[in-house]
Each structure stands twice: as structure tokens, then as C-alpha cells.
A and B are shown apart, each in its own frame.
Chain A
Amino acid sequence: MSTAAVKLSVAVNADSKTGTAWNYKNNAYFLLKMLFTVSGFIIAIGVNILFPQKAAVEIKQYVLSLLGVDISLTMNDAYIFLLVVLASIYAAAGVRSWGDKDRRKKYSKNAAFRFAVGAALALWDIGGTKLQFFAQPFFPGPAQVVEAYLSDGSYVLQNTLYSLRLYAAGFSCGVLLGVGTGILIGWFPKVYYWVFPVLKITGVVPAVAWMPFALTLLPNSFTAAVFLIVICAWFQIAFLTAQGIQSTPKQSYEAARILGSNSADLILHVAIPHAMPDIFTGITSANAMAFTTLVMSEMLGQPGGLGYYINQSKVWSAYYKVLAAIVIMAVLFSLINHIIGRIQKHTLRWQEGVVKK
């Protein structure tokens, strides 16, 4: 911290000597970076409005009912609306960063990439919708992907919620069972002896391999998919939890016992906190596998979910709907990862040297 502060003050001094340096601390420079960031999306909007629609794409009118008001719009309108939202978010982020050196620096650094996103959307729009020189129907343009949300909106939402419900039920049970069995295996040598080899051997089998059994033996397909997600999370998390518990230094137990801890206290206040980093490693890697298991089991035998929606759209060659579902997955799964990351960072703050005042 202090060295960073020294560096910073040195940099500020250098600025005052040489006048105003041309970097993110300069207001004009930063304003240009903001314009640069947003301009990609403005180009995308311009392309969508001004570029002539050469290829034969039917532009349908959709009617959305929002708060009792009916809005009539095309896929292009919705796409432009999304671009405006994105551009506004980045503009707002720029304004928010104005008075903060660190934020300014980060924002300036990201400008080129954000510009490229907008520019890529513009190119995709031309190649996918306006001229259609990408292979059709596999690579529709961005506006057509947005069209899937217009035509199928409530159905997509329904399937998204179905996926979320499956994931939440399966993964939370998997984490609870995994941490629970991991603690038992790590703490009791007898449990380790009997359970660990079973875990080690069955743990390497991909969860979806059990699907035929799950689908026939469990009362309905929802519980079958939950079961699959549970076992894929369970093994991974149990394995790492057990490892974390077992690697607790003997001295920590001795210190705790002398201070007055009984066995339950040793598990709760020494072994589990010590295993926490490993538990989170298990949760993070199990999470990635849970996404895979979720989508695969939806594709193979669920009456709903994003995987099911992809499968169904594929049958009709509606690849724009497939892409629409993939975009939702990307956003949703990133969000879930982000939430888990935040929980991890908070729980393991003692590792990072973050002192909360």
C-alpha cells in the first residue's frame, strides 16, 4: 500500500513538473476515452439504422405490453434499444469514474475492448442480417437473436426459470452433502476407510452417465436431473473438503485444546475454517461441472430448461433461438460465478490481507 502511495505521489509530482501529462489523469484525455468507449456502440446503432437491408429478411412487428401500454416494435428497434442501454451504462460508468484515479485508469484501459465489442456487433449485423454473407441459418445477426426474446419472450423466461430452479435445488443439495460427507471423511478415520475409496472411484465417472438409472428409478425427470447435479457437485466438494480437514496442522488442534476446545469445537472452529479455502476450490470447480450436467440433462430428458429450449429450437433450425439461449446462459452462469466469487472473497478475506475497518 505504502509503496503504491509513494509511486502515486511521485507520478503526481512528475505531472506538476512537466505540466499536464497526456494520460488518464488528464480530463480531456479521459473524455476522449469515454467517447471512444461509447463510439463502438454508436457505430453499431448507425449501421443498423443506415445500412441498407439487402438480404431478404422479414422484419416483423411485435407488440409488447408493458404496464398496460402496448408498444409496437421490430427486432431492429429492440436491438437498438439494447445498444442504447449498453452505451448508456458505459457512459454512466465513465461519469462515475470521473473523480476516482483508480477507476479512471481501469476505465481507460478497457476502452479499446469495449469499442471493439460495439464494432464487432456492427460487423456481425452486416454479415448476419444486412447482407447475410455468413452461412445461414447458422449465423443470424444480433438483431435476429434479439428477435427470439421478442417472439418467445415469456417462453424463454419460463425455461430460464426452470433451469435456475434445477440448478438451485441440485447445487445447494450437492454443496450441503459434499461439505457434510467431506467433514465426516476428513475427521473420522473409519469413515475415511470405508467411504473414501468409493468416492474416489465413482467420483471420476461423469454424472450424466448415471442418467439412465436416474430417469427410470426416480419419480420424475426433475428429481432425476437434481440427482445428477447433486452427485456431480457432491463428489468433488466432498473430496476437497476431506483434504482440507485432513491437512489441518496438529499444532492448531493442540493450541485449541489447551485453550478449552472440545471435539465439536475443534471441528467447527479449527478444522472447518482451515478447510474453507479447499471447500471453495471444490465449490468453484463443481459449479462448472454442475452447469454442464444441468444443460446436458435438460437436453436429454427434461420438459423444460434452456438446454431443452436449445434442443427444441434446433429441430426447427431456429439457430437464432439457440444463440439467444446461449447468450442467456453466458450471462446467467457468469452471474452465478460472480456471486460465488464474492462469497468466497468475503469468507476468505483473512487470506488476502483485507482489513475491514
Chain B
Amino acid sequence: MSSSINIQNVDRTYTDTDGKAVQALKAVDLDIRAGEFISLIGPSGCGKTTLLRLIAGLDKPQSGSLSIDGRKIKGVDPERGYVFQQGSLFPWLDIEHNIAYGLRARGQLRQKKKSVSEYISMVGLEGFEKSYPHQISGGMAQRVAIARALINDPKALLLDEPMGALDSFTRADLQDKLLELWKEKGTTMILVTHDVDEAIYLSDRIVIMTPRPGKISRVIEVDLPRPRHRGGVEFLSLRREILELFELAQAQPQPEYTI
């Protein structure tokens, strides 16, 4: 099950702590195809997390529209799963109950009780069912968060730097796990990251965003066969191309704006 998501001319402004209006997103247009793995990448402040929260329905745009399979996005919905950067597990629930949370909340625990253990083994956490979140490592916690989102059978999975707080070995491990789950479920994956390698390794397309105001500067197709080799020639040239884009973007004179 997967969904296409259509984003049209979206603006989003918020007020910062000093009371100044900051344009987080300006005139953003993006079509996300059903079942693709797409990454939003850019320096901090480019609005990538803001865009992800809009797709999730956690925030609303000031203007423009977002729709999923032709329906307007009005608020949160379990059909769009979300994985936070870290610390979103419920500390009072053990791993098993954290993963089963969505089923319980939607009254499906009785029918789908078996799937809880399926998802636990899918993310390789057998034996940790009764552990509490503070007893497991950061990488394991993120795997729990992914399983918890996937158990609701979402049509799209939104990932907000889920590997940002992990060491590089754990990160590579989790990236492979994510690809494996994506292949198995076919869910549309939307990943926010600031790691160029991660974006190239995982994505079908990479959306490059620039800050002040946050907008999409380019969309790059990654036309490499999987599994991708991080040290491969094409991988590295694509990496250089993207990094050059950022340096260029940063070399541009910053527009001074007054409000």
C-alpha cells in the first residue's frame, strides 16, 4: 500500500522567540510518487522538518495545499506514519506495548495481536519485548519507533532524521533495515536528513532545499541500482555534485529582508 502526495505552492511562516516572522517555507511545489523513497535534504533552517510536519498534518500551511491520493490533508492520520528524531517512545510502556500502541488506540489489538510479535522480529528485537525504552540503545529505540509506525500499515512513512542521533555503524545498519522494510511493504518513504551519503544510499529522488526562505532548489534523480556501494564512482560523483550545489547555494549573497 502506498500513496502519492501532492504539494502545491505551500507557504508557512512562524514567529520566532523574538516575535519576528520567519518564512520557513515559500512557494513549495512537490509531487511525491506512490511507493518512492524520497529524501529532503538541506542545512538547518531550510524548512525540511516543517514540510514533513505539514505532510503529517501536525501543522497547517498559511497558503497552498497538500493532498494525498487527491484528498486534502486536514490533520494527522495513521495512514501517514511518523518517526521522530529521538525520544518519542513512551517510557512507561515496554517495547511490546510501545509497538502495539497504534493497534490499541485504534481498537484493533484483538484482531491483530499476532502482528505485534511479527513486527518485533521484523526489526530484530526478539527478546526485548519486556524491556523499557531507557534500557535499550538509541539504534534499537529507533527501530522500535519504525515498527510502531509501520504496524498501522501506513501508506506513507515520514521519517524526521531518524538516524541523526546514532553513531555511523548503527546508522548504516538501520539504513539497510529501512530499505529492507521498504521493499517488503512498498510504503512511500519520505526521509528528512542532513546526511548527503544517507540520502544517496537510500533514495530514488533527493529534494535539495535551501534556507531563508525555505524552498526547493533542485530535485535530483538517483539512478543507481541497489544495493548501492558507498565508495562507488557514480555514488561519489553524485555526492560531489550535491555538495557543490550546497556550497553554491551558500556562496550566494544572503538577501537581507526587513519586516
Contacts and interface: CB of A to CB of B under 8 A. Distances in A.
Interface of A: 249, 251-252, 254-262, 265, 269-270, 273-274, 276, 350-351, 353, 355-357
Interface residues of B, number: 29
B92 A276 contact: yes
Contacts of B135: 353, 355
B78 interface: yes
Given A259-B101, A260-B78, A355-B130, A274 B88 contact: no
B94 interface: yes
Interface stretch (B79-87, B115-123, B165-173): B79-87
Contacts of A355: 130-132, 135
13 contacts: A249-B87, A255-B82, A256-B90, A256-B101, A258-B78, A259-B78, A259-B101, A259-B102, A259-B152, A260-B105, A273-B93, A350-B94, A355-B135
A262 B87 CA distance: 21
Contact of B56 (A258, A260, A276): A258
Contacts of B114: none
Q: With a 10 A CB-CB cut-off, give which of B77, B92, B94 has the most chain A CB atoms.
A: B92
A261 B105 contact: yes
A149 to B, nearest CB: 45
B110 interface: no
Interface in B43-60: 56, 58
B106 interface: yes
A276 B78 CA distance: 27
B84 to A, nearest CB: 6
Given A269-B101, A269-B104, A353-B132, 4 more contacts: A251-B88, A269-B105, A274-B92, A351-B91
Contact of B91 (A262, A265, A350): A350
A356 B130 contact: yes
Contact of B76 (A249, A258, A350, A351): A258
B134 interface: yes
B215 interface: no
Contacts of A265: 105
Interface string B143-164: 0000011001000000000000
Contacts of B76: 254, 257-258
A252 B88 contact: yes
Contact of A260 (B90, B91, B93, B102): B102
Given A353-B134, A355-B130, A259 B92 contact: no
Nearest to A255: B88
Contacts of B106: 260
Interface of B: 56, 58, 76-78, 80-82, 84, 87-88, 90-94, 101-102, 104-106, 130-132, 134-135, 148-149, 152
Contacts of A252: 88, 90
Given A252-B88, A258-B78, A259-B78, A350 B130 contact: no
Contacts of B130: 355-357
B102 A273 contact: no
Contacts of A274: 92
A58 B87 CA distance: 71
Contact of B90 (A254, A262, A273): A273
Contacts of A262: 105
Nearest to A356: B130
A259 B79 CA distance: 9
B164 to A, nearest CB: 15
A351 B90 CA distance: 12
Contact of A350 (B77, B82, B132, B152): B132
A251 B94 CA distance: 18
A107 B90 CA distance: 39
Contacts of A261: 105
Nearest to A265: B105
From A261, A273, A353, name the one whose CB has the most chain B CB atoms within 10 angstroms: A261
B105 A254 contact: no
B46 to A, nearest CB: 21
Contacts of A276: 92
Nearest to A352: B132
A279 B22 CA distance: 40
A259 B92 CA distance: 17
A258 B105 contact: no
Contacts of B92: 273-274, 276, 350
B105 A259 contact: yes
Contacts of B90: 252, 255-256, 270, 273
Contacts of A249: 87
Contacts of A259: 78, 101-102, 105, 148-149, 152
Nearest to B57: A258
A310 B152 CA distance: 63
Contacts of B105: 256, 259-262, 265, 269
A258 B132 contact: no
Contacts of B78: 258-260
Nearest to B145: A255
Give the 6 A-B CB pairs with smallest separation, nearest first: A259-B102, A260-B106, A260-B105, A273-B92, A255-B88, A260-B78
Nearest to B131: A355
A269 B98 CA distance: 11
Nearest to B89: A255
B58 A254 contact: yes
Contacts of B102: 259-260
A249 B102 CA distance: 19
Given A259-B102, A274-B92, A276-B92, A251 B84 contact: yes
B73 to A, nearest CB: 12
A273 B91 CA distance: 9
